[in-house]
Amino acid sequence: MGTDRKVEEVEDLRDELLSLAPGEPLHPRFHSEALIDLLLQDSEALQDEAPESAVFWAELASELAEVLRDKRFLRSDAKARAARLKGNVLRLEGDLEAAERAFAGGLIHLADDSPEQPFFCRALGLLRWAQDRLAEGISLLQHAAWLFDEHGLIGEDAVSVSLLGLLWSETSKPVRGLGALHHAALVGGTPDHPWLALHSGFLRATYLAELGACSEGRAVLERTMDFYSRTRDEAEILRAYRLEGAARARLGELGHGESLLEGLRRKQLQRRDLPEVALTSLTQGAVLASLGRAEEIERLAAEIRDAAFEPEEGVVFAVEALELYRATLEQGAHPWGGAARAGAEFLRLCRRFDVRLAPVPFSS
């Protein structure tokens, strides 16, 4: 009962904060570590559904943490966490410059042995990924996974290496992510993040097929299908269809894969989602090339040109990616390797020239 009363008191203090006038000095009764922790919990819970509120609570928690911080030292786990939460919201909103400033401010207060360290590294790694600083992103996600493992946080370790596997999938050497995806599966996977389990599973099945382990890849693919029913975000489901199509094609189901990708691409054209249209077209192009129908890639490029996308949506990069891919096939490139290289270059150009890409939807 006493604990419940304390929780109610802290919640009352939080609610009272909302009634204060801007700039009004905070009464000492608000100087509470418990209140700071509650504000940070609220910020984390609202990252997806109410980003402005998430930023507000993170900033307020940081102000309170500054009041309570021992001024002899820069260390403040609460301020580092608040900066991480604010920075992650800004990344999800697409404001990468503001996100960079938030993380930079948090680093000042982040001690090497802070329990916040692995969470901060993971979130910063996602920002570096969005900034096309992939080598840094890879290193930060690997370091976060190592720290989580060291602290016995196996579930967080699995999440971090699964994200690492997804990052590798956007490079010219995607199969390098197989080790990370294998590790995640061995320690229990990411059942609390169905979209991540869905994407990771299809990627793992694809890479196993590439290495000739088709029976294992099929088993992984079939287990992964269960996560569709637990994934709520339509955009993430559609991205998963692309990965499923690639996995099925690599596992020998070329007709099934091509049919799935053709339907998906038309759906994405209707949704005006150019980056996904481009990536799906490259994947479908690899299937067509594997079927001996590489000439049909020109049709995919023409349909993007005819869809009247705006230049700022990346239409030039999308068409160039398909034309480059077709040219490399004529020079003897492997269908899947060439598609990976063209896709990685397309994403690099989009990020370098501020074409809006969907953020990695990870919020904690």
The reply to whether 119 and 248 lie within a common domain is yes
pLDDT at 8 over 80: no
Digit-coded pLDDT (tens) for 333-362: 999 999 999 999 999 999 999 999 999 999
The reply to whether 92 and 119 lie within a common domain is no
Digit-coded pLDDT (tens) for 65-116: 998 888 888 999 999 999 999 999 999 999 999 999 999 999 999 999 999 9
Nearest Cα residue to 141 out of 176, 106, 108: 176
CATH of the domain at 94: 1.25.40
The reply to whether 77 and 125 lie within a common domain is no
Digit-coded pLDDT (tens) for 173-227: 999 999 999 999 999 999 999 999 999 999 999 999 999 999 999 999 999 999 9
DSSP state of 193: S
- Average pLDDT value for the chain: 94
The reply to whether 296 and 324 lie within a common domain is yes
The reply to whether 247 and 280 lie within a common domain is no
The reply to whether 174 and 240 lie within a common domain is yes
Last residue of a domain, one of 109, 137, 152: 109
Domain of 95, in residue numbers: 1-19+26-109
Q: What count of residues does the chain have?
A: 364
Last residue of a domain, one of 252, 278, 293: 252
The reply to whether 132 and 243 lie within a common domain is yes
Digit-coded pLDDT (tens) for 43-76: 999 999 999 999 999 999 999 999 888 888 899 9
Last residue of a domain, one of 227, 252, 277: 252
**Which single residue is written with the structure tokens 């290289």?**
341
CA separation, residue 165 to residues 143, 181, 352 (Å): 14, 6, 22
Of the pLDDT bands very low, low, confident and very high (cuts 50, 70, 90), residue 23 is low
Residue 298, Cβ neighbours under 10 Å: how many?
13
Count structural domains, the chain. 3
